[in-house]
């Protein structure tokens, strides 16, 4: 009760703050706003974490006489909401801290400031809602606030389209959720989650609801083929908002999926995992392939978000599959992996978007083709982004490795299942995940290498300066947390146990008892991982290698070649570019993943034009799904447009015909 | 309720539907207006009988209002409008009489089927009343759809409203305030429509609605 009340107070304060800003039109309030959201989010984070660690397993509820008059607004915080509240509010706090510095470069602060606290409020409200009406209201509130933030820089090319696509997809998703909750509530019309839990849907209704929820939350999280808005909208927002949308808002969507599938729908059938696994694996591979060929830094990150969402959905699909077949221990492992990856992705995706924002501030560009050599000019940002890149590429000893390793541990348990469909599907999904993980590594080697290593490719990069301390502090905190959660994963796994216990009825074995901070998901004899050991090994071997190079190689006499292979003064343009680095992958996967076409235009001898090399990439989801859909809508609209120009008598006849038709339906009903 | 009062109510309400049919095939405007006045008289009779049967004195007021406005004020006003517009000789034929009458019969049977099935629990008088009222409403709409002249559209609209009054008085416990306000809104609608008729006439030299469509650049 006090906790829920606190969170509602938090939400109200944030909304009122946003409204006051919009009302007051105070242009200089940037520091104050972000300072206030920082404090509020930190307090909320501590409260949620305390609930998660302290009163594990208990749920607090509160009913307020708001919303629908006959039911009121129900709120509830259990372990699952507390975990997601902690993730959201920590991300919000980090973004606020970052924005104290970053927000000073904003040209039109009033387009961002009022909506930022409102957006945070919307996300918090979704997580504490305990009836369908409040949930959908909060969900739409969150969508609209984030849409306003996407449209903050609406004069830049492409942002208007991004906003349009985003708001359309968000509405479609909410509509699917509306139908899902309508089906769940049944004919009684009681929309509280408690009532939905109590009466339990029939198998057919449950299957339809599963599909609708996968659509509704998937469109928010960015599941393929519902992802098209994400790489447009996330980069369009200011960087701290991009970080929140990518790192945190997608997690709210995952919360919605988990709340419905693991809580409201009751016990899963054996096949429920299959659609989730297939979409998750497709999402992971397609997302990372597109991330690999982008040349806009923030778009790389947005597509990488799609990949990580795919990984999380694969883990959730595994949990559903194991749970539906009665393997609760394995389901607990998969769900722990999913939640762990939720946490990790919120940490390193925020970090990387902050880094991208820092690069954008320093160079004024998001184009990888104009960067290079930023490590020398922005050493601290470079270090933090390196940690983030290593973490998102799932390199030990960082946190990304642990969660993906746990996912693979769950995949390795699949032979125990009795269903042949799952037995065959899950290893295939595992192979796709492995492919995605490897490509993610390549993607971030490319992104980091092109941006931070080598030599500057343009004057923007060579004149770059390190960003302010606020931004650096935010990035530093996140980088340290990436490292800490990677080294001490057992602590996190134990903290996640009550959530998994509540959702599945089993939990992973306690990790704190295992010596030397190792983690062993099933049994120590089978597999175990010790982040601390790996960390010490990497640090010591790196130090040894560095010492050896400096001691032996640097001291040796070096002779430089006289002609330097014909490049005595190599131009920065001769370096690997972002496009050339991804060319092998583009060649291999290009034909079926993006229908890539390469065209070389060679001017004839004597012509002084430069030769041109053009690559066209097509998002097949857009071309095969959305373009036909838009065409159909356009044609239908053309046909219906004629209805706008009827005579009065024809309008009357339409009304009359509709009335008679309805009466006929009524007459033939019984 | 005794048999006689039910039969009388049935008779009067049925008479209302009959007058609606008579409205359908009037192609002269003055005859149409007379028929409309007759319909209002029948409606007033029906309402008055309901007031007697239900022992609801306020329905007498409704009946009086109906008689005063619908049977006298509105027909007279429309009469004068038609006379001043000089269109009393006009004959309008959009849809031929026979198909219109057939459609009307189909509509009446449809409303009988629907209403008698839907209102199975209610008492017999209310059921009959509702079925007849729906018939009158549908016939009024049919008239609006099949006519082209603005005045006959107005009459169609008013007769549709007569059906609503019949439905309202058939159901017990309709407050007087609602009926009075409906009656006044109809009066105001008449004033507005009358003004519009003259404006249309001024602009287009005709109250044929086809002229409006032609001025929008579409001739159908």
CA Rg value for chain B: 18
Those residues with Cβ within 8 angstroms of residue A544's Cβ, 6 or more apart along the chain or in another chain: none
Q: Is A648 on the interface with B (CB under 8 A)?
A: yes
pLDDT for A25 equals 64
How close A68 gets to chain B, by Cα (Å)?
Answer: 29
The span from the CA of B9 to the CA of B128, in Å, is 9
> Contacts of residue B148 in chain A, CB cutoff 8 Å?
649
The span from the CA of A406 to the CA of A395, in Å, is 14
Q: Which residues of B touch A (CB under 8 A)?
A: 94, 107, 110-111, 113-114, 117-118, 138, 141-142, 144-145, 148, 209-210, 212-213, 216, 218, 220
pLDDT for A122 equals 92
Counts for chain B of helices (H) and strands (E), in that order: 9, 0
How close A659 gets to chain B, by Cα (Å)?
Answer: 9
Q: How confident is the model at residue A636 (pLDDT cuts 50, 70, 90)?
A: very high
**B218: nearest CB among A645, A652, A660:** A645
Strand partners, A612: A601
Give the chain A residue nearest B108 (alpha carbons).
A660
- pLDDT greater than 80 at residue A649: no
Q: Is the dihedral of CA A129, A130, A133, A135 positive or negative?
A: positive
Mean pLDDT, chain B, integer = 81
Q: Among the listed ranges A168-172, A385-389, A598-602, B150-154, which one has the minimum average pLDDT value?
A: B150-154
Check CB contact under 8 Å for B110 and A648: no
Check CB contact under 8 Å for A647 and B212: yes
pLDDT for A563 equals 65
Burial category of B199 from C-beta neighbours within 10 Å (exposed 0-12, middle 13-18, buried 19 and up): exposed
How close A645 gets to chain B, by Cα (Å)?
Answer: 9
pLDDT for A162 equals 92
CB A34 within 8 A of CB A99: yes
> Contacts of residue B94 in chain A, CB cutoff 8 Å?
649
Strand partners, A599: A614
Tell me the pLDDT tens digit for each residue of A56-72.
557 888 888 887 777 78
Q: Is A659 on the interface with B (CB under 8 A)?
A: yes
pLDDT for B30 equals 87
pLDDT for A302 equals 95
CB B151 within 8 A of CB B82: yes
Q: Which two tokens stand for residue A6?
A: 């606190």
> Contacts of residue A652 in chain B, CB cutoff 8 Å?
141, 144-145
pLDDT for A144 equals 93
pLDDT for A157 equals 84
Q: Report residues of chain B scoring pLDDT below 50.
A: 219-220
Those residues with Cβ within 8 angstroms of residue A40's Cβ, 6 or more apart along the chain or in another chain: A10, A13, A14, A120
Strand partners, A63: A74
Those residues with Cβ within 8 angstroms of residue A298's Cβ, 6 or more apart along the chain or in another chain: A234, A235, A239, A242, A353, A356, A360, A366
Could you tell me what percent of chain A has a pLDDT over 70?
Answer: 97
Q: How confident is the model at residue A571 (pLDDT cuts 50, 70, 90)?
A: confident
Nearest-5° Cα angle at A320, A316 to A324: 170
**More confidently predicted of A91 and A613:** A91
Tell me the pLDDT tens digit for each residue of B154-204.
888 888 888 888 888 777 666 666 767 777 777 777 777 777 777 777 666
In Å, how far are A35, A146, A212, A259, A603 from A139, measured between CA atoms? 25, 11, 15, 13, 55
Burial category of A659 from C-beta neighbours within 10 Å (exposed 0-12, middle 13-18, buried 19 and up): middle
Nearest-5° Cα angle at B84, B82 to B85: 65
pLDDT for B174 equals 66
**B117: nearest CB among A653, A660, A670:** A670
Q: Is A647 on the interface with B (CB under 8 A)?
A: yes
**Alpha carbon A189 to chain centroid, angstroms:** 33
pLDDT for B176 equals 67
Q: Which two tokens stand for residue A269?
A: 């059938």
Residue closest to A400 by CA, chosen among A330, A349, A443: A349
Most A CBs within 10 Å, among B94, B108, B114, to test the A interface: B114
- pLDDT greater than 90 at residue A485: yes
Which residue do the tokens 């006289």 mark?
A562
pLDDT for B217 equals 64
> Contacts of residue A656 in chain B, CB cutoff 8 Å?
141-142, 144-145
Burial category of B203 from C-beta neighbours within 10 Å (exposed 0-12, middle 13-18, buried 19 and up): exposed
Burial category of A309 from C-beta neighbours within 10 Å (exposed 0-12, middle 13-18, buried 19 and up): buried
pLDDT for B220 equals 45
**A663: nearest CB among B114, B145, B209:** B114
Strand, helix or coil for residue B42: helix
**Cβ atoms < 10 Å from Cβ of B192:** 10
CB B169 within 8 A of CB B60: no
Longest Cα separation, chain A: 101
Q: Is A653 on the interface with B (CB under 8 A)?
A: yes
> Contacts of residue B213 in chain A, CB cutoff 8 Å?
647-648
The span from the CA of B191 to the CA of A392, in Å, is 75
Q: How confident is the model at residue A652 (pLDDT cuts 50, 70, 90)?
A: confident
Check CB contact under 8 Å for B145 and A645: no
Q: Among the listed ranges A246-255, A408-417, A602-611, B179-188, which one has the minimum average pLDDT value?
A: B179-188
**From its phi and psi, is residue A560 left (phi > 0), alpha (psi between -120 and 50) or beta?**
beta
Check CB contact under 8 Å for A647 and B218: yes
Mean pLDDT, chain A, integer = 88
Which parts of A43-185 are beta strand (E)? 60-64, 73-77
- pLDDT greater than 60 at residue A271: yes
The span from the CA of A373 to the CA of A462, in Å, is 8
In the predicted model, what is the mean pLDDT of residues A478-494? Answer: 92
Tell me the pLDDT tens digit for each residue of A390-448.
999 999 889 999 999 999 999 999 888 888 889 899 999 999 999 999 999 999 999 99
């Amino acid at each position: 009760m006090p906790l829920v009340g606190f969170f509602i107070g938090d939400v109200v304060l944030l909304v009122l703050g946003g409204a006051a800003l919009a009302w007051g039109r105070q242009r200089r309030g940037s520091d104050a706003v972000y300072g206030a959201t920082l404090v509020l989010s930190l307090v909320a984070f501590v409260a949620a974490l305390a609930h998660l660690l302290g009163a594990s397993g208990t749920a607090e509820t509160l009913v307020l006489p708001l919303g629908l008059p006959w039911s009121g607004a129900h709120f509830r915080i259990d372990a699952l909401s507390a975990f997601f509240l902690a993730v959201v509010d920590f991300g919000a706090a980090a973004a606020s801290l970052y924005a104290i510095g970053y927000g000073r470069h904003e040209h039109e602060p009033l387009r961002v400031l009022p909506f930022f606290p409102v957006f945070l409020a919307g996300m918090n409200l979704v997580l504490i809602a305990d009836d369908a009406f409040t949930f959908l209201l909060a969900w739409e509130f969150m969508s609209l606030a984030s849409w306003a933030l996407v449209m903050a820089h609406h004069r830049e090319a492409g942002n208007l389209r991004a906003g349009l696509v985003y708001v359309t997809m968000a509405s479609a998703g909410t509509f699917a959720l509306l139908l899902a909750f309508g089906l769940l509530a049944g004919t009684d019309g009681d929309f509280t989650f408690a009532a939905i839990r109590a009466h339990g849907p029939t198998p057919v209704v449950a299957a339809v609801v599963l599909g609708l929820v996968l659509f509704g939350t998937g469109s928010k999280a960015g599941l393929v083929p519902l992802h098209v808005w994400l790489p447009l909208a996330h980069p369009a927002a200011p960087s701290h908002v991009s970080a929140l949308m990518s790192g945190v808002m997608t997690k709210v969507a995952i919360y919605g999926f988990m709340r419905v599938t693991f809580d409201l729908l009751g016990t899963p059938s054996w096949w429920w995992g299959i659609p989730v696994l297939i979409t998750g694996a497709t999402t992971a591979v397609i997302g990372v392939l597109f991330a690999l060929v982008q040349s806009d830094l923030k778009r790389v990150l947005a597509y990488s978000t799609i990949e990580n969402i795919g990984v999380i959905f694969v883990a959730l699909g595994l949990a559903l599959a194991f749970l539906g077949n009665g393997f609760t221990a394995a389901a607990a492992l998969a769900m722990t992996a999913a939640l762990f990856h939720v946490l990790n992705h919120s940490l390193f995706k925020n970090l990387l978007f902050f880094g991208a924002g820092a690069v954008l501030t320093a160079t004024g560009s998001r184009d990888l083709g104009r960067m290079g050599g930023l490590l020398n000019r922005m050493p601290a940002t470079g270090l933090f982004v390196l940690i983030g890149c290593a973490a998102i590429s799932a390199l030990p000893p960082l946190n990304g490795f642990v969660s993906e390793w746990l996912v693979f541990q769950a995949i390795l348990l699949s032979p125990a299942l009795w269903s042949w469909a799952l037995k065959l599907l899950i290893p295939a999904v595992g192979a796709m995940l492995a492919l995605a993980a490897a490509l993610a590594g390549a993607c971030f080697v490319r992104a980091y290498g092109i941006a931070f290593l080598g030599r500057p490719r343009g004057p923007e990069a060579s004149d770059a300066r390190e960003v302010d301390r606020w931004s650096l502090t935010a990035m530093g905190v996140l980088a340290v947390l990436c490292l800490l959660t990677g080294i001490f994963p057992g602590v996190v796994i134990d903290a996640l146990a009550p959530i998994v216990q509540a959702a599945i009825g089993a939990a992973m074995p306690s990790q704190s008892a295992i010596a030397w901070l190792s983690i062993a998901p099933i049994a120590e004899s089978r597999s175990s991982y010790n982040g601390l050991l790996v960390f010490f090994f990497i640090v010591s071997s790196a130090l040894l290698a560095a010492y050896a190079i400096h001691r032996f190689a640097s001291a040796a006499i070096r002779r430089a070649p006289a002609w330097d292979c014909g490049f005595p003064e190599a131009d920065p343009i001769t370096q690997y570019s972002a496009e050339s680095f991804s060319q092998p992958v583009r060649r291999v996967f290009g034909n079926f993943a993006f229908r890539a076409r390469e065209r070389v235009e060679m001017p004839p001898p004597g012509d002084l034009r430069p030769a041109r090399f053009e690559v066209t990439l097509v998002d097949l989801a857009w071309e095969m799904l959305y373009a036909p859909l838009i065409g159909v809508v356009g044609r239908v609209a053309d046909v219906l447009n004629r209805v706008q120009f009827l005579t009065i008598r024809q309008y009357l006849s339409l009304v009359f015909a509709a009335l008679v038709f309805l009466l006929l339906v009524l007459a033939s009903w019984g | 309720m005794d048999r006689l009062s039910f039969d009388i109510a049935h008779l009067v309400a049925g008479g209302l539907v009959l007058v609606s049919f008579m409205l359908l095939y009037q192609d002269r405007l003055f005859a149409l207006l007379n028929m409309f006045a007759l319909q209002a008289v029948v409606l007033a009779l029906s309402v008055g009988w309901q007031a007697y049967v239900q022992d609801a004195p306020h329905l007498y007021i409704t009946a009086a209002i109906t008689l005063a406005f619908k049977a006298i004020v509105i027909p007279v006003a429309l009469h004068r409008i038609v006379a001043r517009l000089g269109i009393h000789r006009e004959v309008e034929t959009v849809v031929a009489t026979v198909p219109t009458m057939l459609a009307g019969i189909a509509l009446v049977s449809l409303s009988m089927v629907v209403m008698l099935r839907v209102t199975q629990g209610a008492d017999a008088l209310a059921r009959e009343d509702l079925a007849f009222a729906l018939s009158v409403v549908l016939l009024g709409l049919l008239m609006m759809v099949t006519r082209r002249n603005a005045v006959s559209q107005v009459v169609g609209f008013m007769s549709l409203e007569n059906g609503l009054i019949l439905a309202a008085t058939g159901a017990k416990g309709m407050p007087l305030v609602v009926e009075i306000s409906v009656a006044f809104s109809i009066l105001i609608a008449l004033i507005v429509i009358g003004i519009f008729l003259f404006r249309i006439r001024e602009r287009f030299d005709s109250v044929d609605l086809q002229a409006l469509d032609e001025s929008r650049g579409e001739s159908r």
